[in-house]
Amino acid sequence: MVTSEQVARLAGVSRATVSRALNGSAHVSEETRERIQAAIAALGYEPDVVAQSLVRQRSYVLAISLFPEDDNEKFLAHLGQTSQYIYLDILKNIEREARSVGYDLLVPSRPLGHSPKHYIRSLQTRRVAGVIMLHATEERIQALIDSNLPTVFVDRIAQGRRATYVKSDNLDGERQATAYLLSLGHRHIAMLTGKTADLAGMERLQGFQQALIHAGIKPDPGLVRHSGWNISEAYEAAKILLAERRDFTAIVAASDMIAMGVLRALNEQGMRVPEDISLIGFDDVEFSQYTYPPLTTMRQDNATIGQGAVQRLICLLDGTEDVIPLNISTQLVIRQSTAPAPA
């Protein structure tokens, strides 16, 4: 078993410095922290979280909730297949950042139907230090805020004395995406929104509408279709839109998964992308560069989302007051699915 002493020796520091780095101490320089992380990776060292908890009388376990009703097994089974693909990368970055500061992740699995109070009690029984919530019902959000259990919400705006959030700037991102199509001369632009009951879906629709209004174009409700986040629902919604033969030269898809469904519908109708219809997505999941044509999209900074969620949770655990939420900018990635509007 690799020990912290071996890590210290390889990194050229003391065991105490290794311990401080693992505990997220501000008294360790970034250069030293990077050397320690490199040594940990090279040796395959895993901190003994249980031992740390016993010695310091502080929990070093963070709970991560993936699904609104905590059917995490169902959620994990669907990761990478449908609308949850984006969370793979976020989860990877959450796990990496948590390990770097000496915390383990717990994914609690409970039967459906348990009350929010029961959920809080189950977390307390497991002695978790705090929670990172990727999906949540309104009841669970309020229960967590009321419980004062340190919590960071991802892609949900919710705050309390010991709760804050981290999210992408979906509104500005979709505004940028639409503005880019407008800059290419498109004036009749359709949108498939995803679920507008979700914060991301609502903000992306608002960003689309704001960009049109800013350009002096009145949004046409007939060019907006509300689908789910997965490929099959987007495909069906796109088929209906195309069957109506409305006048548009570009489509804004609220996610790359939605764009995949749109691409299939367009191909079946013999419509070429981007010669006939330009298409832009959102998320920049890995496969978006391998579609045909490669997809123009808005890139979410999943590394900063994951790191920011853990860092803010650590601040809450350390008693920092008024932890500032994080609203992270997105970046336009131009590929081959967009082109100037047809003459």
What is the dihedral sign for C-alpha 79, 83, 84, 87?
Answer: positive
In the predicted model, what is the mean pLDDT of the chain? 86
pTM across the whole model: 0.79
Residues 6+ apart with CB under 8 A from 138: none
Instruction: Give residue 280's pLDDT.
Output: 98
Q: Is the pLDDT of residue 82 over 50?
A: no
In which band, very low, low, confident or very high, does the pLDDT at 52 lie, cut at 50, 70 and 90? low
Q: What is the pLDDT of residue 80?
A: 45
Kindly report whether the peptide bond that precedes residue 221 is cis, defined as omega within 30 degrees of 0. no
Tell me the average pLDDT across 18-35.
80
> How many Cβ atoms are within 10 Å of 127's Cβ, its own excluded?
12
pLDDT value of residue 103: 87
Ranking 65-69, 72-76, 259-263 by mean pLDDT, the lowest is 72-76
Q: What is the mean pLDDT of residues 164-191?
A: 97
Q: What are phi and psi of 46, to 5 degrees?
A: -125, 115
* Per-residue pLDDT at 99: 86
User: Is the model more confident about 201 or about 116?
Assistant: 201
Over residues 122-169, the pLDDT tens digits come to 777 777 889 999 877 788 888 888 888 899 999 889 888 899 999 999
**Tens digits of residue pLDDT in 199-216:** 899 999 999 999 999 999
What was the pLDDT predicted at 4?
Answer: 82
Return d(Cα 167, Cα 86) in angstroms, integer.
13
Beta-carbon count within 10 A of 139 CB: 13
Closest C-alpha to 165, from 313, 303, 321: 313
DSSP characters for 109-133? ---TT--HHHHHHHHHHTT-SEEEE
pLDDT, tens digit, for every residue of 263-289? 999 999 999 999 999 999 999 998 899
Instruction: Please tell me the distance from the alpha carbon of residue 25 to that of residue 96, in angstroms, as a whole number.
Output: 17
**Other Cβ atoms closer than 10 A to 118:** 12
Distance in angstroms (rounded) separating the CA atoms of residues 52 and 249: 59
Q: Residue 274: what pLDDT?
A: 97
User: What's the alpha-carbon Rg for the chain, to the nearest Å?
Assistant: 23
- E strand intervals along the chain: 61-65, 104-106, 130-133, 151-154, 163-168, 189-192, 224-225, 250-253, 278-280, 297-299, 326-328, 331-333
Q: Which residues pair with 328 in a beta bridge?
A: 168
Q: Cα–Cα distance between 200 and 116 in angstroms, integer?
A: 24
